[in-house]
Amino acid sequence: MSDAESNTAAYLPLTEKCHHYTRRSDVDWDIQKYWAQRYSIFSLYDEGIHMTDDSWFGVTPEPVANKVAEDLSALTPKSKTVLIDMFAGAGGNVIAFALSKRWSTIIAIEKDPSVIACAQHNANIYGVFEQITWINDDSFSYLEKNSTSIDPSKTVIFASPPWGGPGYTTDKIFNLNTMAPYSIKQIHNVCRGMDSALYLPRTSDLRQIAKLAPGEEKIEVVQYCMEGASKALVAYIPAIALTSS
Ligand SMILES: C[S@@+](CC[C@H](N)C(=O)[O-])C[C@H]1O[C@@H](n2cnc3c(N)ncnc32)[C@H](O)[C@@H]1O
């Protein structure tokens, strides 16, 4: 993994976009409902959790992130020891993966320097900063650049892509082919040689997910709920055997 580590990010400084809000009146109206749920999102919020305003919309709440980490561990053969989080955000999932102690290497990729700085800071609060290799880069180009050093037989990809912003859908069935800015096909194309877990809207079109199954293999789809309501689903997709030509 030496090439893969060459653009590793050290502890990046928090920027003026990173906030720890303590008063509702400081919070923009459109994130006030998320801020009200701050302890469900990060139970250690009061220790100084930082977020950018945009990252409130996409962060995975801690109980869901912990359950996803538990399920990914259970569903993955022990021979796979490397986990790559393609869209680390403010750290909701990657912190839970590190706390699960299941992985010998965890690589967290995030393209926005302010957001990755929040994720690092938050991981430090949870005591797992050192367990994670931080990459401040575009995950698609990172995976391409490191395609020869990443061993698909040992690696699992986790991807929680943007779903298109806060009003991501009003449709009854979410169309993964028009998901913005990356369609399901674009994401699956870069990770299909490895087992992958895709964190997607709860109303995602299951027929589009089913098309990603290699041959006769099955895809597990799990709905993750909090207080009786689904927050998201995760599709656990087996690798496609790729020829090396
Ligand atoms: C839905 S959020 C991830 C939330 C994360 N799982 C959490 O719990 O905090 C998606 C993140 O992907 C980042 N992102 C978008 N495109 C990216 C790319 N091509 N490479 C790396 N990060 C990207 C965005 O900046 C955003 O922070």
**Mind listing the pLDDT tens digit for each residue in 12-50?**
999 999 999 999 999 999 999 999 999 999 999 999 999
85 Cα to the center of ligand 1, angstroms = 9
Q: Which amino acid is at 47?
A: E
Burial class, 175, CB count within 10 angstroms (exposed 0-12 / middle 13-18 / buried 19+): middle
pLDDT above 60 (res 58)? yes
245 Cα to the center of ligand 1, angstroms = 31
Residues near ligand 1 with C-beta < 6 Å? 55, 58-60, 87, 89-93, 109-112, 115, 138-140, 160, 162
Pocket test for ligand 1, best of 43, 54, 110 (most atoms within 8 A of CB): 110
Distances in whole angstroms, Cα of residue 204 to Cα of each of 112, 120, 162, 171: 26, 30, 13, 10
The pLDDT value recorded for residue 244 is 53
Query: For the residues 61-66, what does the mean pLDDT come to?
Result: 98
197 DSSP 8-state letter: E
pLDDT above 80 (res 51)? yes
Q: Which CATH class is domain 24-237?
A: alpha beta
Cα–Cα distance measured from residue 241 to residue 192, given in angstroms and rounded to the nearest whole number = 8
**Mind listing the pLDDT tens digit for each residue in 180-239?**
999 999 999 999 999 999 999 999 999 999 999 988 899 999 999 998 999 999 999 999
216 Cα to the center of ligand 1, angstroms = 31
pLDDT above 70 (res 11)? yes
**Mind listing the pLDDT tens digit for each residue in 103-152?**
999 999 999 999 999 999 999 999 999 999 999 999 999 999 999 999 99
59 Cα to the center of ligand 1, angstroms = 9
The pLDDT value recorded for residue 8 is 74
The pLDDT value recorded for residue 191 is 94
Query: For the residues 142-164, what does the mean pLDDT come to?
Result: 96
The pLDDT value recorded for residue 2 is 44
Closest Cα to atom 3, ligand 1: which residue? 89
121: left (phi over 0), alpha (psi -120 to 50) or beta: alpha
The pLDDT value recorded for residue 34 is 96
pLDDT above 50 (res 245)? no
Query: For the residues 159-179, what does the mean pLDDT come to?
Result: 86
